[in-house]
Amino acid sequence: MRIAPDALHNRIVSLLTAHGASHAQADATARHMVWCEGAGRHNFGIERMPILVKRLRTGVLNGNAGIGVEPIAPSLVRIDGGGGFGYAAAERAMQEAIALARRSGVAAAGVRNSNFFGAGAYYVNLAADAGMIGLALSNSFPKVVAHGGLKPVLGTNPFAFGAPRRTGEHLLFDMATSALAGSTVREHMEKGTALPEGLAIDAEGRPITDPAQVSAGALLPFGGAKGFGLSLLVEILAGVITGAGIGDGVASMYSDFSRNGDNGHFLLAVDVARFMPMDEYHARFETLVAMLKTSGDGILLPGEHRWAARRDSAVHGIIVDEAVWRKLGDLLPV
């Protein structure tokens, strides 16, 4: 089935506010989810609604959170998410970074006291829309071992960057620093399919392919020591220096209902126009794109395949699984 973007947005807002979320928190969440759904990234869309509603109901997610903004330097700002939706806190953080970068050329925002922030691509797209190169990082609850380790210490710790293109269909790169994203593990569990080999281990360090065993075991960092190093960068920038939870100080949104997530995020914006006129930048960037495209058949830039889905969704409506849509109805308070 297809749902108009505005209708889906309004549905999300009405459901979250019915469970006590403020309009501002719900609206930011809806913007994020609709953007992801429109690109076909359903694992970052309304599939998350049941767990978010559950966390609202149990009180570990503060649906009425106010967002604290504390300038700490000419090009740095600290954001306190108030224990609310990570979507709202991270969006505000990138908006603040963009505004500061307009004045200083480059700026960063660190977020603490937040929760799951969804797809990093959403935030770097905001920067790209503003003519800036963006970076978005977030830590998460421990599910990944250190390179050579056995006990999960790091999260899947996503890393995203974006660069503007003249067409508005920006380069958007978004990845987990684990060998497999947590959402992919859940997809394998739902479908009853095995994980690819070499991506996860049990508590004794033995390779596993059963997704149901990952909860008692761990994921590996992607690329061994390289992914481990990149994950550490995310943990330091998003967790250590922001004052957010680190390691097991971050709660699982799916299994820990005793506390707020305390995720941390790090958002960076670089004003391209400070380096050169935007026309020159676009010409140079498209020269690079042409080099890449002519280096082989079917070369796609990061995130490029999602733009066709966004165009289609804007015209014909967003493709939504009927079973998932029905589950939204089940979330209405009785």
User: Interior CA angle at 21 toward 18 and 23, to 5°?
Assistant: 95
SS3 (DSSP) at 168: coil
Residues 172 and 186 in one domain: no
User: Which of residues 231, 259, 274 is at a domain's end?
Assistant: 274
Same domain, 110 and 255: yes
Taking the C-alpha atoms of residue 193 and residue 239, their distance in angstroms, rounded to an integer, is 33
Q: Are residues 69 and 211 in the same domain?
A: no
- Domain ranges, residue 140: 2-179+220-274
Residues 35 and 144 in one domain: yes
pLDDT, one tens digit for every residue, the chain (334 residues)? 999 999 999 999 999 999 999 999 999 999 999 999 999 999 999 999 999 999 999 999 999 999 999 999 999 999 999 999 999 999 999 999 999 999 999 999 999 999 999 999 999 999 999 999 999 999 999 999 999 999 999 999 999 999 999 999 999 999 999 998 888 888 888 888 999 999 999 999 999 999 989 988 999 999 999 999 999 999 999 999 999 999 999 999 999 999 999 999 999 999 999 999 999 999 999 999 999 999 999 999 999 999 999 999 999 999 999 999 998 888 877 5
Using an 8 Å Cβ cutoff, are 257 and 55 in contact?
Answer: yes
Helix intervals (H) in the chain? 5-18, 23-38, 49-58, 86-104, 120-129, 182-191, 225-234, 278-293, 304-316, 322-330
Q: Which amino acid is residue 123, in one-letter code?
A: Y
Return the pLDDT at 3.
96
User: Are residues 174 and 80 part of one domain?
Assistant: yes
CATH number, domain with residue 62: 3.30.1370.60
- Is 166 inside any structural domain? yes
3-state secondary structure (DSSP) of residue 291: helix
Contact 238, 196 (CB under 8 A): no
Q: Are residues 232 and 158 in the same domain?
A: yes
Asked whether residue 189 falls in the same domain as residue 225, the answer is: no
**169 and 205 in a common domain:** no
Instruction: Please tell me the total count of domains within the chain.
Output: 2
Do 241 and 197 fall into the same domain?
A: no
Assess whether 114 and 76 both reside in one domain. Answer: yes
263 in Cβ contact with 117 (< 8 Å): yes
| Residue 256 domain flag | yes
What's the first-to-final CA gap in the chain, in angstroms? 26
Alpha helices in 192-321 (DSSP H): 225-234, 278-293, 304-316
Provide the token pair at 261: 């997530």
Q: Domain for residue 68, yes or no?
A: yes
Query: Do residues 230 and 156 both lie within one domain?
Result: yes
CA distance 83 to 116: 10
Domain assignment of residue 185, yes or no: yes
Buried b (16+ CB within 10 A) or exposed e, 264-283: bbbbbbbbbeeeeeeeebbe
Structure token digits, residue 291:
């080099």
